[in-house]
Structure 1
Amino acid sequence: MAVGRRPAPDLGRVVFEEAGGIAEVLAACDAGRVDLAILDGEAQPTGGMGLSRQLKNEITDCPPIVVTVRRRDDRWLATWSQADAVLVHPLDPVGAAETVAEVLRAAAAADAPVVR
């Protein structure tokens, strides 16, 4: 909830879909219902970092992924997880919103048609 309903004025409202387990996350991402996934890197039994890597390697048009971690020292794991960004707990609402906005803008720019 630190991201808020509108992370930046140039972006639309955010609609959150909470998933209770891995199967729900995989189904939502695979069905294309997710524009951005925010995964808990500390979740048990399977953490968001492992799930991020699985999504990036298994879904052809994988949405961008932000992983949250408890320790700043764990940010390096995001490289392995192939996450697009990392947030560190406790989440700063301003920083979280800025990070999510940057990731959403980058995804939109990548999807934009090339004009020649």
Structure 2
Amino acid sequence: SRPLPSIIDFGKLLTAIAKLKKYDVVISLGEQMQKLGISHDMYTFSILVNCFCRSSQLSLALALLGKMMKLGYDPDIVTFNSLLNGFCHGNRISEAVSLVDQMVEMGYKPNAG
């Protein structure tokens, strides 16, 4: 049997598929990776959070964020921006504002970018 691709290779693959807006495929591959015993890293977690948000599955994005943090990964600005976009597109403005408050508490500085 051949060795499994590295997490870096999976990250590149997930990124390429996400750029094609095939979010369901990315999510499915992410689940298959776990079944194969391949642990996600910060990069693949962020890609998956983004795909859940872009496919209007915010509850799953938040669940994954919680899992990520339990494993010791601190969300980065990319992950937070995915969630903010998801909240705003889902018309969940109060949750977006609450997330910005949390980000400020964690030391992130909001910008208008």
TM-score, normalised relative to structure 1: 0.30
Kindly name which structure, 1 or 2, has the bigger radius of gyration based on alpha carbons: 2
Larger fraction in helix: 2
Structure with more relative contact order (C-alpha pairs < 8 Å, separation 6 or more):
1
